[in-house]
Structure 1
């Protein structure tokens, strides 16, 4: 598997996996192009003793925040470490900048339903 996929499997960041590869802590196979591939068997020692769960974010599904807007993902653009996610909510759009790893981990896709959760101590109102 690719290093990014291994990072997601282990619940680690991509830079951490790259450091492990360069330090020799994680066994890899190099492709003819010089890229690293990680055998699934190389991840086994790091997965031992970890509780099995289908959804790593399962424990975060119930939150105290009540300012949640449900909409449809109309755009996802990943550039480097960050991603732009745009939700269409009614005739309005809301944009969020989150990590690219979060988009991959949550498996967000255009056309799917998602919620925007706002946390703020202040809400401003303006006349439109």
Structure 2
């Protein structure tokens, strides 16, 4: 993932309502949630929710599709995984942090593993 895309994604998530909306969309799975329902769930005015969803879409973190008169938003899991991969690619000195093997027990980024 390119650094400019990472910066856009992190910037989009660095706002309370956008982060909450993205987390709900991740939980919703591929079915997604209608923009109006997101606004209701987060107690945000629909016009504000539209702005926040546009920011998430511009950052490439969500996709949208029209169903009848509703716009349904879904988390873009590939983009989310790309962002997480970018943030963790140098974790543990470049050694993959997995739940198996000696590398996992020594991973300095996971306090539970350090004390194990």
TM-score (norm 1): 0.24
Structure with the bigger RCO (C-alpha within 8 Å, sep 6+) is 2
Largest Rg, 1 or 2: 1
TM-score (norm 2): 0.25
Hey, which of these two has a bigger chunk of helix by percent?
2
